[in-house]
Structure 1
Amino acid sequence: MKQNSACDIVQDYHRLWTSGNVDMAMNYVAEDITYRAPGTNLHGKDAYRSFISGFAPMLSGIGEIAQFVDGNRVALFYYPQTAATSTAPAAELFTITDGKIVESILIFDRLSYGPPKRN
């Protein structure tokens, strides 16, 4: 049986969680995943699932995905679209080991995803 490439794993994972299927996406995540994002450092699949599950329902779409692959590391660049913003970019670097995502580092502007400003 052919093993999926790091790029395939990340693309499948990303497609699943951004369409709201977090449980299926977690099939691509290692039990001991390390996750870093602005204001958040998590360890373990359960903590990661909880974090992703909290954000996934806010998504209304994903814009313009680009990627860069370097062996077992895959970077995605995209625009998570929510009620608060559709123009704030995000960059995420995934590390794949033995067919699972073992590390994710997410960079984005947290303030862009807060409540809309009132004038």
Structure 2
Amino acid sequence: MKIAIASDDWVTISSHLRSNKGFVIFEFEGSKIKSQEYRSSNIPVRKVELNGPVRQVDKNKWILKAIGDCDVLILKRSEERQMNGNSISSFNIVLTDETFVENVLDLYLSDFLIKNDIEQ
């Protein structure tokens, strides 16, 4: 199982999914951490085509590219409105009011966080 936590710095959970710098990824084998890594989201601000118009970037596509192999996505509760009906909501999304990555990971593994509380 792989868990992605939106974070700009490995330590705190990002407040904004679509403008965060990346994700802390934890891979588990049973209840043990097998590996952890940081993946940059590399979300461009806008797309400029040669001799063409400036276009908005589909940020969800970039997010899916970064964490598409993950099973769970943990986000700040403030992101709940952004997630309803969103293509990212295909993940098992967990919302939290926690600030720190380490704390939220411990809470998730102890089943103290509500899972799947996004309207599909």
Task: Specify the TM-score bucket, using the shorter chain as the normaliser.
Answer: under 0.3
Taking structure 2 as the reference length, the TM-score comes to 0.26
Taking structure 1 as the reference length, the TM-score comes to 0.26
Structure with greater proportional strand content = 1
Look at both structures and tell me which one has the larger radius of gyration over its CA atoms.
Answer: 2
